[in-house]
Amino acid sequence: MMANRIRTISAAMFACGLTFPAAADWTIDGDTSALHFLSTKNAQVTEVHKFDSFDGSLSDDGKLRVIVDLSSVNTAIDIRNTRMQEMLFNVTKYAEASFEATLPDSMMSLKKGQIVNGKVDGILTLHGKAVPTSFAVKASRVSEDVLTVSTSAPTLIKAESFGLANGVAALQKIAGLQSITTTVPVTFSVTFNQ
């Protein structure tokens, strides 16, 4: 009787072990991560902007999903933030941008202290458009439960690819500018905790 009970408990524990893997997904540490983009106006004034709120996860098999809250755009000027939210991103209709990709094995199999350079190919969805997008990155395994991934070069995002050219033109007009570039460099530095 006792042997039967032990076998039943052991089988239940084994089944749970198969159902719930020991390793957990990775999540973005919002306090130590940053997402920036640059804009250039009047052909010579370049400014650095960022998003204050984004989140994401990375599975043990390398599936990456990052969600950016577009209303968290931070240009350091409140009226410009509001204009970008309303006139460019249209956050009432398109509240978020997302990036989905699979990280290569070379990044997922890093040992503590190892660094690797590579490319992450995925789909960037912004303003209702899903566009293949690549980022040149450097990944580093800081510790058993900390992985950092950052751009090693900016990725150029074209407003036209996402149906944002009219929004850029509207911003240019309301601000009385001669020009605003429609291609913006994007960089990030992300820390994942497990």
Cβ burial, residue 44 (10 Å; 0-12/13-18/19+):
exposed
Question: Per the structure, how many domains does the chain have?
Answer: 1
CA distance 152 to 189: 10
Residue 146's domain comprises 23-193
Residue 129: closest CA among 169, 150, 158, 155: 158
Given a contact cutoff of 8 angstroms between Cβ atoms, the answer to whether 186 and 37 are in contact is yes
Is residue 3 a part of any domain in this protein?
Answer: no
Residue 27: closest CA among 59, 51, 53: 59
* Ranges of the chain with pLDDT below 70: 1-24
* CATH code of residue 176: 2.40.128.110
- The rounded Cα 188 to chain-centroid distance in angstroms is 8
Q: What is the pLDDT of residue 4?
A: 45
Is residue 121 a part of any domain in this protein?
Answer: yes
pTM, two decimals, is: 0.85
Is residue 16 a part of any domain in this protein?
Answer: no
Given a contact cutoff of 8 angstroms between Cβ atoms, the answer to whether 52 and 74 are in contact is yes
Q: Tell me what the pLDDT averaged over the chain comes to.
A: 90
Q: What is the pLDDT of residue 2?
A: 42
